Structure 1
Amino acid sequence: MKPLRPRLAHLLRGRLRPVVAAALAGLLIGAGTTAWQTGAFASDSSPCWGALDQSDITGLFHTPGNVKSAELPLISNGLTSSGLSGSCRLSRLTWQVTATAHELSGDHGGASGQWADEFLSARLSPLGGGLLGMASDTRAWLALPEDCAGRSDANRGPAVIDIAMGTANPGRKIDAGDRAALARALVKLVNRAMVTSGCSGTIADRSAHLPAVPQSLDEKPGDFCGVKGLALAAGYTKDPALDHPLVTSGTGPVRTCDLASNYSRPRMRLMTITDPRLAGIYYDTVLNGGTPIKSTAGRGIVRADLAVFRAGCQKGNAVFLVQFDDAEHAADIKALLPRYAAAEAARTGCGPLRITVPR
C-alpha cells in the first residue's frame, strides 16, 4: 500500500473551474437553495453525482475512508448556456481532488489559458479507443461523445469533464498507478454525465490500455522536440535548460512537446492539435490574439510570447502552436512556427503547408 500523500502546500490546490460553477452557485444561493452539498459520506454511498464507489476513492487517495465530499449538481442544458455544468470536490486533510463539468469555450487556449497549460501538457497521454481525452497522474479530461453533447462549432470546444489532483506538474516522474486511477474515475464521471444528458451507451474503462508513461527525449540533431527535420533557426543559442524535452506518448488528438516545465507552465511548448473539436479552444486567440498571419491555408496570429496557426485540413481544423513563457523570444517564435507547422502538417496528413509570418 502506498503511503499517504505528502502535505506540501504547492501540491494541495485542486482548483474549482470554471467561472460558470461559481456563477451557478450564486444562482442557487439567490434562489434560496443550498449550492454545495457537503459532508462525509458512508462507505456504501457514491460521491460525485453517484458515479464513484469506494474502490475509486481508494485509488485516488491510496487508502479508504475519512474522505469528505462537496458537490454542485450535474446539470445538462439547464441553468447555464454552456450546456453542461457541475463540480465535485473530494478531500482528506490537505489533499484535494476536484472534478468539473463544463464546456471548453473559444478562450481556453492562448498564452494565458491555464486549462491548456495544465490539461494539454506533455505529461498527459491519450486515452485511446477513439475517445477525445487524456490522462496523467495529476490531470485528466474527457469530452462527451459528439452524438451525446452535439457537434461543437468552430468557435468553441467540446463539453468535458476534467479532474485535477494536486499540482499539475509536481516535478517528479509520472506515477502510472495514479494515472490509471484518474482515468478510471474520469470515465465513470463521463458515463454519469451521459445519463444526465439523456444519452444512451457507456464508455469502457481505458485505464489498462493507456500508452507508456511519457519519457524525456534525447534529441537528435535536426529533430528538435522529436519532430523529424525540424531544426532551430540559424544563430539560435539553445538554453541548456531546454534539453531533454517531454513529449506526449501514444497516438491521439494532441502532441505536445514541453521543455523545462515548472509547477505552472513550461518554459517552451510546441503543440499540435488534430481534432477539430478541440481546436476550437484557440478560436478567440486566432481571431484577435495578436498580429494576424494571413494565408489561404488558414489563419493565425503571432506575438512576442506565442504564435498559433489554425489550418483547414482534410478532416477539419488543426492547430499548430509555438509558445514561450516570456516575451524575449519573439524572433525565435517567428522563425520556428513556419518550420514546425510544415513538418507537423506533413506528419498528420494536413500538408503541404507553407505560411509566412509577418516580420
Structure 2
Amino acid sequence: MTIDEKLAYKNNEHSNNRQNRSWYRKGSLNFLRNRASFKTVSLPSNGQIEIKSAHHIKIQGFGIVQVVENIKNLKGSKIVISKVKRKNNDQFELQLVFTQEIKRLPQQPAIGVDWNMHNDELFRTSVNQVIKPNVIVFNQADRLEDAINQLKSLRDKTTWLNGNSKRISTMNNQIRFLNIKRNNILDEEYKQLAHQLLDNNNVVVLENLDSKDMWSVKRTNKAANRKLAKVKLYALQSFITSLANKTGKTLVKVDAYKTSQVEYGTEFEQKHKLDEKIELSNGEIVRGWKSLTGDNSIVIRDLNAAKNILAWGVNPEKHIKLKDYPNLKPSSLVSVN
C-alpha cells in the first residue's frame, strides 16, 4: 500500500475501515478471516503459490513472505496447501503440503480375497489365509455402544427438561464423546485389517460390494455373527483402498457375480446353500461340496470363491459374467485403484 492508501484506509475514506484500524491490520490473519481469531489459516494453492528464492515464497493473501529456512530445494515442487500458523510465542510457522506420485509396485505377489462373514471370519484369501477381527476391540466397542444407548434412553425419558438445559447438554456431550471414542477404536482395527491384507502382497483382488450387497451380507449374518454384523464394510473397504494408494499397491475390485457358484478352474457351475457342509480327510467340517468333476475332490466354498476372485481380477475377460451376458465388456467387471 502507498502512503496515501494507508492514510485513506486509516481514515475510512472508502467505508472499508469503520473501526479506524491501523493500515497493517489489512494483511493480518484476523482481517483475512473477517476479524475472527484463528491460529492457523489454510490456503489452497490454486496455482498461485510460488517459491521466488531461497528465503522468499509468494502466497495468496499475504504476498511475498520471507522465511528463515532455506527452501531453494523446493522450487518447482507442486504445493497443494499452505498453512500459516501462529505459535504461542507470537512467532509464525509456514507449513507446506506437497503432492507426490507414488510409484506402483510390481504385480506379484497377488491374492484374491473373499468377504467371508462366517464362523467369526472376516476374510478368506486365495492362499487359504483366514483373517479374523480382534474380538477384544469389538467387545470394547459393544460396551461403549451400550453406554451410549443408556445415555440416549435416559435423555429421552427426561421430557420435563428443556432441550437447552445444562443436564441435556451434558448428556449430549457424553454421547458425542463416546461415539467418537467408539469410532476411533473401530477405525484403528480397520487399519490393522487392511495391513494384514496388503503388507505382504502387492496386488489384492477384492469383491466390490455396493451398499445393497453390504446390507445383504450384514442382514444374512446378523443372527450367527453379531460382532461381524457391526463391521462397517464400507469403512473397512475405504481403509483398504486408502492404504493401497499410499503404499503403491494395486487393489482390484471385482464384480461379486457367482464367485461361489463356479468351480475354480472348470466350467462347472452350481448354486449351493450357505449351510452346505462336508467333512475333510482330517475330520474337519467345512462349508463345501464334492467336486462336480467326478474326481472325488472337495471344494471348500470360501477358498474356491477367493481363487475365482483372483483369477477374474487378473484376467477379467474370463469372468463368468461375460459368458452369461455376452454384451458386457471386461472393463465393467473390475475397478482398479
Same fold at TM > 0.5? no
Bin the TM-score by the shorter chain.
Answer: under 0.3
Between structures 1 and 2, the one with greater strand share = 1
Between structures 1 and 2, the one with greater helix share = 2
Q: Which has the larger radius of gyration?
A: 2
